[in-house]
Chain A
Amino acid sequence: MSTPYLPLPVPVRRLTFAYEGDQVRLVSEQHVNMILPPSDPPELLERQAGFRVILRNERGELVYGRVLSNPFQFDREVFDRDPEHSIRREPNPSPRGTFVVLVPALDNARRLEFFGHPLKPKAHLEPQRRLASFTLQPTAKR
């Protein structure tokens, strides 16, 4: 049985980001009510490898975070009909794109951070670090 969690729809920030190379910017923010998965456990967010989205309060404490598939496409997945080699990766010479992140619109969330391996090709064995950070406006004042 899964961890008991039966949420009601909550206010959610739908954040759209655009990136080119290692530069990323917040393009738009929408507010919508919907169900979100619970935060991943802090020990997983702090210790394990991979791309994470983290919300912090004004004291820098983690208030929500999730491990996500890395949206920065420094390589691309290529598909083939050959059943023995139906998928492979190829470096992307000009990484750019747009992606959406859904996070709860928590009153105490002040910063959104992307955390993971450096934004460059084949960086998955390099030390992880904060990749980008964005100030969030308090939801109560919007």
Chain B
Amino acid sequence: MGVQDGNVVGMTKIVDHGDPSVRWNLVILSEGYQSSQLDQFHNDAQNFVTRMYQTAPYDELWCGINVYRIDVSSTDSGAADPMGCGGTGYAPHTYFDATFCGDGTIQRLLTVNDGTVHDVVNAQLPHANMILVIVNSTEYGGSGGSVATFSLADGADEIALHEMGHTAFGFADEYDYYQGCGIDIGHNNYTGGEPGQPNITTVTDRSTIKWNNLIAGTTAMPTMSNPDCTQCNNGPNPVPADTVGAFEGAGYYHCGLYRGQYACRMRALGNPYCGVCQQVIRRMLAPYMVSWTYGTNTIGAGQTQDWWLWWPTYPGFEAIGVQVATPGNELQTENPGIQQNSDGSTTYFISVVNPGGGDVEFHFRGTAL
């Protein structure tokens, strides 16, 4: 079982936007593919890449992303299908020991030996930010965690996109039950502190909620309350589908926790990422986007310099900021601002502060949308 049952054939960069040290790196590995089936894996990996590219907001952030494919062959094809979960009893010899019924009770829980996966990725690409394993089976299944696993069944790639939300971007689940509506005990009212995850909250004040910049002044807060906290909040959406606000029912609780939009991929598969999650993904991937230097200067100890940048459209940049030219020095930025001008252009502002004890050279840079 395990690594005796196959080989790591090699790694190929299938989406190349530059050096892995400056890009966000996704790694896709094969499991349950025999050597003669690796061409099929190449197609399967490319199909996922296409799916991801068509998924907002990855489409607009694509230039910040590299994708690597690691070909791993197995002695046998597919994944184990234990009879204990009603499966066929098929027990193939595969490199990562993929199996349905990964917890011994649930058929669709398709797991792999994540320790072996990390061994391979650490050796091949220690710059990896996210790891996916495609399992060569047409039976529906998948799982999450530090390694997201999914099969070739229709719709199973949604599992990978949902799990990327957890692992890569720290999203909470937005569904308002644990095992199921009407099944759970103790999931009526959330009484804990403010969650650290960026997409759920206890706050309904429009001025202090995490995603306040996305909420229109005309949107009621909370936008949707749960009239019966003993039940899941399954009422119809009271506002247009793309409205961002505060919708009660999230993080496994019927009441007391709010999500930003009625529907989201983190609430149920098959939905787009909501506006809140898309904003977080944009912010987290912005440092990996191509950026340009618009000016270079030196700032003395204790000094503050105000910088601005004009751009002909609105908006033009995901971020502006400074890069210290000499490693080991530190600068701070303050009072970032953005002004939409009447002619449709944008002016960005930022103050650069040198709190240290000597002159520091820096580059003033912008990262494109």
* Chain A residues near B (Cβ < 8 Å): 1-9, 14, 16, 18, 27-28, 30, 32-35, 37, 40, 44-45, 47-52, 66-69, 71, 73, 75-81, 83-90, 92-94, 97-100, 102, 122, 124-125
- Can you list the 6 inter-chain pairs with the closest CB atoms, starting with the nearest? A4-B321, A50-B196, A99-B146, A67-B196, A86-B269, A48-B196
Q: Assuming A14-B126, A28-B122, A48-B196, is B109 touching A87 (CB within 8 A)?
A: no
CA distance A43 to B267 in the complex (A): 28
Among A71, A75, A77, A122, find the residue whose CB has the most chain B CB atoms closer than 10 A.
A77
Inter-subunit contact B22/A35 (CB<8 Å): yes
Distance in Å from the Cβ of A96 to the closest Cβ of chain B?
A: 9
Q: Which of A34, A37, A97, A102 contacts B284 (CB 8 A)?
A: A37
26 of the cross-chain contacts (CB-CB < 8 Å) are A1-B338, A2-B283, A4-B320, A4-B333, A5-B287, A6-B321, A6-B323, A28-B122, A34-B22, A37-B287, A49-B192, A49-B196, A67-B196, A76-B109, A78-B109, A79-B141, A79-B159, A80-B108, A83-B268, A86-B158, A86-B268, A88-B178, A89-B252, A92-B103, A97-B114, A122-B186
B142: CB under 8 A from chain A?
A: yes
Bound CA–CA A120/B143 (angstroms):
19
In the complex, are the beta carbons of A35 and B320 less than 8 A apart? no
| Tally of contact residues, B, Cβ under 8 A | 82
Within residues 152 to 175 of chain B, which ones have a CB less than 8 A from any CB in chain A? 155-156, 158-159, 162-163, 166-167, 170-173, 175
Per the bound structure, the CA–CA distance linking A6 and B322 in Å amounts to 6
Complex Cα spacing A141 to B116, Å: 30
Query: Which of B118, B282, B350 touches A16 (beta carbons < 8 Å)?
Result: B118
A35: contacting residue among B21, B141, B318, B324, CB under 8 A = B21
Cα distance A54–B103 in the bound complex, in angstroms: 31
Tell me, rounded to whole Å, the shortest Cβ–Cβ distance linking B329 to chain A: 12
Q: List chain A residues, Cβ under 8 A from B118.
A: 16, 98-100
**Number of CB contacts from chain A to chain B under 8 A:** 186
B197, A88: Cβ atoms under 8 Å?
no
Q: Is B6 an interface residue (CB 8 A)?
A: no
Q: Which residues of B contact A (CB under 8 A)?
A: 20-22, 24, 102-106, 108-109, 114-115, 117-118, 122, 126-129, 140-146, 155-156, 158-159, 162-163, 166-167, 170-173, 175, 177-181, 186, 190-197, 252, 268-270, 282-284, 286-288, 291, 315, 317-324, 327, 333, 336, 338, 348, 350, 365, 367
Chain A residue numbers with a CB within 8 Å of B195 are: 48-50
A1 to B333, CA, bound (A): 14
